[in-house]
Amino acid sequence: MKNYSLVLLRFASVFGLIGAILGAHMAGAGSYAFRPVHAHILVVGWLSLFAWAVYYKVFQTKKTVTAKIHVWSAIIGTVGLTFGMWLYMVKPFNLPEVITLVLYIGGGVTLLISYIIFCFITLVYKEDR
């Protein structure tokens, strides 16, 4: 599971950097417009992906289709949720609301699926004896 751990760790570091930059921008600008996006990028993007990276490194689960779906749904869901949230709340490109809402909700649902899969993975995990 080294590969899954490393992939999740790298994405977590990117989200951590983006979240820190957003926080610095908000502090410097004196505007908190990005607060929900900043919080979600750090909690789901940095913290959750990092925690899952540690899980796959420590518990050495088998490489299964379920684990692969978990890892990629976590990454796709995190990107979709945070990017969709930014588009929906900040409206930087003045896109139709239906497009931004579909991306926002689609990312959130995909991320929720990854949490459900992770819960399943941890419930069926068995240590080698």
The residue ranges of DSSP E strands in the chain, in sequence order, are none
Asked whether 53 and 8 are in contact (CB, 8 A), the reply is yes
pLDDT of residue 63: 87
Q: Which of 37, 49, 38 is nearest to 12 (CA)?
A: 49
pLDDT at 129 over 80: no
Q: Which residue has the higher pLDDT, 14 or 127?
A: 14
Q: Which of 40, 33, 32, 52 is nearest to 15 (CA)?
A: 40
pTM of the model: 0.93
pLDDT of residue 11: 98
* pLDDT tens digit sequence for 16-64: 999 999 999 999 999 998 999 999 999 999 999 999 999 999 998 888 9
